[in-house]
Amino acid sequence: MIASMAAFTLNDAFMKVIAGELPLFQILTLRGVLTVVLIALVMFARGEVDFGIPAQDRGKVALRAIAEIGAAYFFLTALFNMPLANIAAILQALPLTVTLAAAFFFGEPVGWRRMTAILVGLIGVFLIIRPGSDGFTIYSIYALVAVGFVTLRDLVTRRLSPATPSMAVSFYSALGVTLFFAAGSPAQGWEPVTGFAALMIIGAALMIIGGYLFSIMVMRIGEISFVATFRYTSLIWALLLGWFVFGDWPQNITLFGAAIVIGSGVFMLLRERQLKRRPA
């Protein structure tokens, strides 16, 4: 899980390095093409050549692709205009928002302890973005919208039937993202791709695949309620990369807010683990 989070954060860093050098839609199109090809190669290498989606899940897979498109646009727009660690800190709220949304839309039970942890964690998010402060920008809202789209994606994923292949879902999601931004890229125009930019895009695509494969290994072998807490190591990677690569370091109030969010998320995960271990 730690390696998975490192890979995804390196993808973010590679993308941020070429911000402004190429239009966003062009970057997403090029990275998307590589990602689609790599996912297909991984599927064939693993012997998972089933690209079929059961009829009852096709609408869900399409909705998941739409959520991926929204998440990609809003997240990368925020990433290109915010310190890496700041947006990573906001994303730490995802376990909280997914649990809250599942309780609201699906009626999944959430006790008062976990609900308190969620509310405390959301206070931490407000400390990170600090509405009304000098450091607050529209891109903080973009980051929150990205969290909303990723929450939608995860909720839809929960509702997919076991008969739907996980890699096929990833393939169609990546394909949907690629086709959408390829169709919209002429509006932004295309720029010549330098060798450095090409390396960054290739590196980003490889990191996405690496992060996904590591996460699959974790989900198949590790105890989910235990390894999920290691998702928060993504903030450590973001802090290190933001400092060494971009020279950014968050303000103390941002770090304090991130600590609240992470503490709330870890408490909630441990509470879920405790509840699952109780005898029926």
Q: How many domains does the chain have?
A: 1
Query: Residue 225's pLDDT is what?
Result: 61
**Mean pLDDT within 132-155:** 86
pLDDT in tens, 21-33: 899 999 999 999 9
Q: What is the mean pLDDT of residues 101-130?
A: 85
Q: Is residue 267 domain-resident?
A: no
Task: Read off the pLDDT of each residue in 172-186 and give the average, rounded to a whole number.
Answer: 93
120: in domain: no
Is residue 163 assigned to a domain? Answer: yes
Q: Which long-range contacts (CB under 8 A, 24 or more apart) does 15-21 make?
A: 15/76, 15/79, 15/80, 15/200, 15/204, 16/79, 16/80, 16/84, 16/246, 17/200, 17/245, 18/196, 18/197, 18/200, 18/201, 19/79, 19/80, 20/80, 21/191, 21/194, 21/197
pLDDT, residue 134, reads: 67
User: Which pLDDT does position 128 carry in this prediction?
Assistant: 86
Q: Residue 224: inside a domain, yes or no?
A: yes
Domain of 12 in residue numbering reads as: 2-111+136-249
Global pTM reads 0.87
In a domain, 240, yes or no: yes
